[in-house]
Structure 1
């Protein structure tokens, strides 16, 4: 018997990340090759003509799992009865714009989307925020959707984890899948802390395998922290293909569960673990189960170097939270 379709919302659906995401999403690479899907595609009025072209291409793919496509510029229509919300759309950072300016523009978008989710989405909806500043946008979205469990709101740091795995693998002449349990702590920004103290590569601890502490505590961290800017400088556009891949990784692990004792990085509401302020959307190592629940990995030893890095990114998130609440008139 065929499964009932799940309804998946993608915002910013006429943009470049969505263009790389919609095909694998609809083909079954994320929610399973036996899971029918209904796509809801949200973008602003000015992008609806472009969105029509995206819809035509999706139809022309003739994908057997894709049961329907609903393009819209109405947030309330978009959020109706959805099972999953992938919130990609946000105002991009322009030249000369400070992070605070970006936050001021985007919190209003995510406040409105939170309110629509609260009114119209299923209470079990799973939300991942991609639009930057992602952690704080997710915090605002969560705040304005009080009837939905807070743990259902997450932000994307899987791209940062994938970047970190790739850096270690390249250094070792291996493939990224050989690198396990890399952690991204904190904010999806250049204060994030890519931590490999608990990671394994080909069965060994990363520090033991790489044998270059200076690189692991220096250029490795800086490369991961600034990789997004490096991509923009090289291609004159922000990461799209890799971001779409990371969204798929994030949602697939959340949907089906992580493997064995492996864990992945997700920005989730803090429960106070590792001394992080409760409620802030902070990237932790998490393990997920096939019932679509997750838990923060406990008991990891944190040295002074790590603690300092984790506190720096927490401070940035606390400042962003205060600014966001101010901009929302809270």
Structure 2
């Protein structure tokens, strides 16, 4: 994307912690390129007025050469208009003691409103990355409420879990993280997600030949699944720094491509054509990328153990989808009254 016309980048939840950690990465060209200028459009809720104003002031004070303009406010229709890329961080954040259903109910309403705003004013070419949890279902809610933008233009972030899996495999094998390739993160960004080492290689050697099955099942998988909760309990806040890096990694691969022979994990819309996953979900799968497009890697052999894990995560997403649909009905009923 370098050396092209100025692009419009909208960030929701712009006064939040992850956005704050992301700005220096974004505005120094680590995502869109060292020569790509951008107009920043910062969206948050009115209760965050002072925080949003403070962020805008700091961005001005940084004097980033790549930032052409800064616009901020609370109206999604105004800020989504003419945007090229949307980074959707905004939503009720996870706090200690919160259940996923709590996040689902609050954020379903938010993403339904934002999806309708996107549908009304955004360009069909707009690319969307959703980060706010429950991320898979939030992304699906956007898609369902925004038919004017192609479904393949929406993805959700599971790269943080993908990166966590890489890190744990590297630590165990005592190798640099750059030597761990083709890990897969399947399913929902939740405790049911399945980090899969079966197609990975470590320093060119198949990962299945390196790690003991007991360690994979009893240590590796649960550690990756529970890592977010571990950070949350220790920091009393959700993962921020690592989430910002994962956003960068996701977008860089989506825009500039994945290296030959390698794939990464993204949450993408399902059409029923891969891995026996039904249509109309957002599910994390292995993808190859090029020129801001992705292609699902479809030719991988799935073991019985992996199939069981994938199905567990799928069932959870089916439950979330049903809950979200029920909540939509309740909202509609309330509005009719």
TM-score, L = length of structure 2? 0.95
Contact 1:27–1:66 (8 Å) recurs in 2: no
Q: Residue 165 of structure 1 aligns with which residue?
A: 166
1:218 Cα deviation (Å)?
2.0
Question: What CA distance in whole angstroms lies between the structure 2 residues aligned with 1:270 and 1:126?
Answer: 17
Q: Residue 257 of structure 2 aligns with which residue?
A: 257
Question: What CA distance in whole angstroms lies between the structure 1 residues aligned with 2:255 and 2:177?
Answer: 22
Deviation string, structure 1 residues 266-291 (Cα, Å, up to 9, x no partner): 0001122000011200000000112x
Deviation string, structure 1 residues 38-86 (Cα, Å, up to 9, x no partner): 1111111111211111111111111111101111111111111111111
Deviation string, structure 1 residues 239-294 (Cα, Å, up to 9, x no partner): 0000010011111111111111110000001122000011200000000112x111
SS of corresponding position for 1:71: strand
Deviation string, structure 1 residues 81-112 (Cα, Å, up to 9, x no partner): 11111101111234443322221111000001
1:120 Cα deviation (Å)?
1.1
Q: Residue 59 of structure 2 aligns with which residue?
A: 58
Q: Residue 132 of structure 1 aligns with which residue?
A: 133
Question: What CA distance in whole angstroms lies between the structure 2 residues aligned with 1:261 and 1:69?
Answer: 39
Contact 2:96–2:232 (8 Å) recurs in 1: no
| Corresponding position: 1:227 with 2:230 | no
Q: Residue 277 of structure 1 aligns with which residue?
A: 278
SS of corresponding position for 1:145: coil
| Corresponding position: 1:315 with 2:318 | no
Give the stretch that moved more between structures: 222-231 or 91-100: 91-100
The residue correspondences of 1:81-100 to structure 2 (distance < 5 A) are: 81-100=82-101
1:298 Cα deviation (Å)?
1.1
The residue correspondences of 1:13-52 to structure 2 (distance < 5 A) are: 13-52=14-53
Question: What CA distance in whole angstroms lies between the structure 1 residues aligned with 2:255 and 2:117?
Answer: 23
Contact 2:182–2:199 (8 Å) recurs in 1: yes
Question: What CA distance in whole angstroms lies between the structure 1 residues aligned with 2:3 and 2:187?
Answer: 40
Question: What CA distance in whole angstroms lies between the structure 2 residues aligned with 1:308 and 1:205?
Answer: 22
Deviation string, structure 1 residues 145-180 (Cα, Å, up to 9, x no partner): 011101111110000000000001111112212110
| Corresponding position: 1:196 with 2:214 | no
Q: Residue 116 of structure 1 aligns with which residue?
A: 117
Contact 1:270–1:281 (8 Å) recurs in 2: yes
1:3 Cα deviation (Å)?
2.4
Question: What CA distance in whole angstroms lies between the structure 2 residues aligned with 1:31 and 1:2?
Answer: 10
Q: Residue 102 of structure 1 aligns with which residue?
A: 103
Q: Residue 244 of structure 1 aligns with which residue?
A: 244
| Corresponding position: 1:325 with 2:335 | no
1:217 Cα deviation (Å)?
1.9
RMSD (Å), alpha carbons: 1.3
**C-alpha spacing 1:238/1:317, structure 2 compared with 1 (3 Å):** same
Q: Residue 68 of structure 2 aligns with which residue?
A: 67
**C-alpha spacing 1:116/1:200, structure 2 compared with 1 (3 Å):** same
SS of corresponding position for 1:122: coil
SS of corresponding position for 1:226: helix
1:234 Cα deviation (Å)?
1.1
Question: What CA distance in whole angstroms lies between the structure 2 residues aligned with 1:313 and 1:223?
Answer: 16
Question: How many residues are paired up?
Answer: 328
Structure 2 residues without counterparts, runs of 5 or longer: 333-337
Question: What CA distance in whole angstroms lies between the structure 2 residues aligned with 1:306 and 1:3?
Answer: 43
Q: Residue 335 of structure 2 aligns with which residue?
A: none
Question: What CA distance in whole angstroms lies between the structure 2 residues aligned with 1:199 and 1:86?
Answer: 29
Question: What CA distance in whole angstroms lies between the structure 1 residues aligned with 2:186 and 2:234?
Answer: 26
Question: What CA distance in whole angstroms lies between the structure 2 residues aligned with 1:304 and 1:268?
Answer: 23
